[in-house]
Structure 1
Amino acid sequence: MRLISLILLLLLCGSISAQKVEWYSTTQAAPWAKQKVKPERNDAGSEIVLDAAKRLQVITGIGGCFNEMGWDALNLLSTTERETVLQAIFGKEGACFEYCRLPLGANDFAMSFYSSADVAGDFDLVNFNIDRDRYILIPYIKAARQINPNLRIWASPWCPPAWMKTNNHYASAIRPSGEKDVNGLAPAEAIAEFSTGFRMEEGYLKTYANYFARFVKAYEAEGLPLECIHVQNEPCSNQVFPSCKWRTEDLTFFLGHYLGPTFERENIKTDIYFGTINTANPEYVRVALRDKEASKYIKGVGFQWDGKKAISTIHREYPELRLMQTETECGNGANSWDYAEYTWNLMKHYFSNGINSYHYWNMILPSPGVSPWGWNQNSMVSIDKKTRTVTYNPEFYLMKHLGHFVQTGAYRLETPLDKNMLAFVNPDGTITAIVANVTDADETISIAVGKQKVTLALPPHSFHTVNWKQ
């Protein structure tokens, strides 16, 4: 009898120790702290059960955006210090970013206005080049790739070359009366609220489609193939920085009759996404997905800002469509803990509504992180211009809780809707749960995987990742 009891005890211990469990926590006072975790036998009590068989959407990558001001800030540092920051974002011991965005031409965190075809009337793109990118963005991307060779990239324009717009300017809007002029745009040159800012004429449409094709090929020649392009950043807004508003019918027409056929003719394998959509109205996306010509080229849809309110409808109506969260909301430069909790809520919303990839906005900025157009924004990492001090902000650690443990090719798992958590099963079989306590009180949560459970004591205002290795 004693022998049988001993065998049962050994089997029980074996089943509990068969999985190695890691637990990392982040509070404002103690970021990324490894905690001791004691696995227990799962007796089917009140714990949350994670079932690796109950798989939802596949995860195609986690990352951020390469911006000119980020590389400029990094170059304030010594070679060793710069390497440390890049390791923290892209390295195996860091946030492990593997799928990142870059602007196709100037965006609001470029050093100035520019495109790859700035000679007006150059319909044959004789003067097309990516020379500026070779000095700024491409070294930034290649430095990241030195650390993570698996890094993939995608791109979107904030604005066409200015001469292709109806106002011949990179910006589309002016500051309200009384505020500082930041772009030199005259009030009469602002794009009308409900109009398309692009010149919807044959020569411009053809040339712009060729412009995309030339950009993709130029990056391929640099050894940096683009996995996908999104047709326009925030096509529903006129901005004081590089921007171009499009009526959905016009953007759909361009994609279906010019961009898609050009990629097909040029045998370009880069996917085309209808993004990055920043309106709450799902009809903006439906128009493109219902269009016979455009829909055959659309491989997915990207959402950011107000687009988060449309994503649940589109996911429900088109459950097989690939979806991307393309940009976190940027805050006001305070880089506060409160805003990290707001970003967590956004993250949970996007994943719970079917997105396949998640992208932070400015990975690195100088401190303060003010754009040339006057907007002070958050970043994962801040580099003080005077002291050259590097600060890892709360959102860096939140993104690390996600990126460090959630691999490309993972699947999201079912979790209770009323719990502040996300869970994933990775291609290597590991299971990851990300849990947040955004309250002022201590919380306790028990999570079971197979025959094993862990009970976590969560201090107020904290983020946690628990990882089960087989």
Structure 2
Amino acid sequence: MKKIISLLFVAGVLNTVAAQKITMYSTTASERWTSQKVTVLKHASQTPEVSVYTDSLLQHVTGFGGTFNEIGWNALQSLSQEERDKVMASLFAEEGVRFSLGRTPVACSDYSFGYYSYNDVKDDYTMRNFSIDRDRFILIPYIKEALKLRPDLKMWASPWTPPAWMKVNEHYSQKSSGIEGTDIGHNRLDPARNVLGNVTGFKMQQGYLQAYALYFSKYVQAYKKNGITISMLMPQNEIAWTPCWPSCTWRAEDLAIFVTQYLGPQFKKDSLDTEIWMGTVNYPNPDYIRTFLNQKNVSDYVRGVGVQWTGMKALPVIHKEYPSYGYMQTENMCGNSENDWSALERTWNAVVHCFNNGVGAYMYWNMVLDETCKSWWDWAQNAMVIVDRNTRQVRYTDEFYLMKHLSHFVQPGSRLLKVSDHENVLAFRTADNGTAIVTYNSDEDTRFRTFVIDGKKIEVTLKPKSINTIKMNDK
């Protein structure tokens, strides 16, 4: 009799689990995206409980994404069409990471094959010589492969530098050489032409300002003609840094002048619905963003703020002071080609910080790199997918699976939910009216955790050093 009762109890639990349609996936450094058991509890639990407040809907989630760059597309060319398709599907298809956002540079970046802009003809204020032809052979095919898999992929863009002739030192870079005190990254710029980090590197003269606004307008229109809609533009990557690769610094007041008096009016004149966001901001002091947003007429044209790297430190203050703007984390910290579990942990901590402080979107940096992982300026960084051009082998890194745990179920239309654990748990009301919980076990030992959701208790086993996603659909 006891055996029959036990079997009936187990069957009842399994039926409840099936009715709730609860699934769980776990990833460790050695096991990837494996299915795990979820137990629905009928009695009080002895394990620590985490409450998920499904009636406390926080910010809207636009989604997760990654960046398209020339070196990444070149790495993919070493694969057969079949293998290349598999990599792209792993990032954008239904069964993969399911990125909903894509970032593309406006002309060159540190992961392009050197310097270039869409108009290198000096003082061509009318943009007569504007052309995106280089992109038609590299960046645009890369993006279109993603659009085949994800037609609703939302693309946004930012430049690393204006055309060199629009800058005060008339060079693509801000300083001659050296990556953070090293000798890596020589670019042969005369050190006498280095630009200080606290000044504007752009020529703040009317002709250049007008020309640059027209440059952006032509860029958006040219991409549209080539089948790619640029939904959002941030006028400068890493506003507050002077590296030895393509870059340009802007004082907040000067950037506001450009946006409100030139860029915004040009987009309006040309009937472009591309949103303008402030960014990307890599400065920790909130005063930089605050100064920009407080300038006259900014709110008429600017819809959000994008932060990356140290700019994340400004979020706790800024998103509370300016709640009407959208917020995005625009570039995951790239690391130094560790491509291991430590990179996953750093990214997880950054994701938690950003979502707990108002962001609705989080962007990875290079989705795909070759076996060197190096930029044109010789800095080896992290990637989600590494393609060895010599052996034709493809490696999916730990961060690939972290992004899958975050993005696979959390699609546009989702909402962040309030939770009682603000360090190792993120929860979302998903677009399909389910609940997705992403939780990290940072311990070297197995942990048992109970989640309380709408009065229901579920218990899960978290493997040592694991990232886990629980998906619960409504009945």
Whether TM exceeds 0.5 here: the answer is yes
Match of residue 429 from structure 2: 425
Distance of 1:180 and 1:37 partners within structure 2 = 50
Match of residue 91 from structure 2: 89
Cα pair 1:301 1:322 within 8 Å, conserved: yes
Quote the sequence identity (%): 42
Runs of 4+ in 1 over 4 A off after TM superposition: 9-17, 42-46
* Counterpart selection for 2:156 from 148, 154, 160: 154
SS at match of 1:38: strand
* Counterpart selection for 2:417 from 413, 416, 437: 413
Match of residue 362 from structure 1: 366
Match of residue 209 from structure 2: 205
Counting matched residue pairs gives 464
Match of residue 240 from structure 1: 244
* Counterpart selection for 2:270 from 266, 269, 274: 266
Matches within 5 A, 1:305-316: 305-316=309-320
What amino acid sits opposite 2:153 in the alignment?
L
Distance of 2:17 and 2:293 partners within structure 1 = 49
Q: CA deviation at 1:346?
A: 0.5
Cα pair 1:174 1:190 within 8 Å, conserved: yes
Match of residue 104 from structure 1: 106
Distance change >3 Å, CA 442–CA 180, structure 1 → 2: closer
Distance of 1:375 and 1:64 partners within structure 2 = 19
* Counterpart selection for 1:340 from 341, 344, 348: 344
Matches within 5 A, 1:54-453: 54-176=56-178, 179=183, 182-453=186-457
Deviates more, 1:293-302 or 1:341-350: 293-302
What amino acid sits opposite 1:289 in the alignment?
L
SS at match of 1:39: strand
What amino acid sits opposite 1:141 in the alignment?
I
Cα pair 1:101 1:154 within 8 Å, conserved: yes
What amino acid sits opposite 2:70 in the alignment?
E
Distance of 1:198 and 1:56 partners within structure 2 = 38
Distance change >3 Å, CA 93–CA 244, structure 1 → 2: same
Distance change >3 Å, CA 118–CA 140, structure 1 → 2: same
Cα pair 1:40 1:454 within 8 Å, conserved: yes
Distance change >3 Å, CA 418–CA 349, structure 1 → 2: closer
Distance of 1:430 and 1:145 partners within structure 2 = 26
Distance of 1:197 and 1:26 partners within structure 2 = 45
Distance of 1:449 and 1:181 partners within structure 2 = 51
Cα pair 2:234 2:277 within 8 Å, conserved: yes
SS at match of 2:231: strand
After superposition, give the CA deviation of every residue in 1:116-161 in whole Å (9 maximum; x if it has no partner): 1111111111110110110001000000111111211000011001
Distance change >3 Å, CA 180–CA 153, structure 1 → 2: closer
Q: CA deviation at 1:12?
A: 8.8
**Does residue 1:40 correspond to 2:44, yes or no?**
no
Distance of 2:295 and 2:146 partners within structure 1 = 39
Cα pair 1:42 1:448 within 8 Å, conserved: no
After superposition, give the CA deviation of every residue in 1:390-436 in whole Å (9 maximum; x if it has no partner): 00000000000011111111000011245411000112111000000
Distance of 2:43 and 2:233 partners within structure 1 = 46
SS at match of 1:243: coil
Cα pair 2:155 2:230 within 8 Å, conserved: yes
Q: CA deviation at 1:48?
A: 2.1
SS at match of 1:150: coil
Cα pair 2:217 2:266 within 8 Å, conserved: yes
What amino acid sits opposite 1:425 in the alignment?
R
Distance of 2:266 and 2:60 partners within structure 1 = 30
After superposition, give the CA deviation of every residue in 1:56-87 in whole Å (9 maximum; x if it has no partner): 00001210100111100001100000000001
Cα pair 1:16 1:451 within 8 Å, conserved: no
Deviates more, 1:290-299 or 1:176-185: 176-185
SS at match of 1:139: helix
Cα pair 2:429 2:435 within 8 Å, conserved: yes
Distance of 1:360 and 1:13 partners within structure 2 = 38
**Does residue 1:462 correspond to 2:463, yes or no?**
no
Cα pair 2:184 2:379 within 8 Å, conserved: no
Distance of 1:220 and 1:452 partners within structure 2 = 48
Distance of 1:358 and 1:181 partners within structure 2 = 28
**TM-score normalised per structure 1:** 0.95
Cα pair 1:197 1:244 within 8 Å, conserved: yes
Q: CA deviation at 1:370?
A: 0.6
Cα RMSD, aligned residues only: 2.0
What amino acid sits opposite 2:323 in the alignment?
P
SS at match of 1:320: coil
Distance of 1:186 and 1:299 partners within structure 2 = 39
Distance of 1:461 and 1:174 partners within structure 2 = 42
Match of residue 30 from structure 1: 31
Distance change >3 Å, CA 422–CA 171, structure 1 → 2: same
After superposition, give the CA deviation of every residue in 1:185-242 in whole Å (9 maximum; x if it has no partner): 1101111232111011110000000101110111111121111100100110111000
Distance change >3 Å, CA 12–CA 32, structure 1 → 2: closer
Cα pair 2:53 2:419 within 8 Å, conserved: no
Q: CA deviation at 1:441?
A: 2.5
**TM-score normalised per structure 2:** 0.94
Unaligned runs of 5+ in 2: none
SS at match of 1:295: helix
Cα pair 2:13 2:39 within 8 Å, conserved: no
SS at match of 1:296: helix
Unaligned runs of 5+ in 1: none
Distance of 2:151 and 2:423 partners within structure 1 = 36
Distance of 1:240 and 1:276 partners within structure 2 = 18
Q: CA deviation at 1:97?
A: 0.5
SS at match of 2:426: strand
What amino acid sits opposite 1:296 in the alignment?
D
Q: CA deviation at 1:364?
A: 0.2
What amino acid sits opposite 2:25 in the alignment?
Y
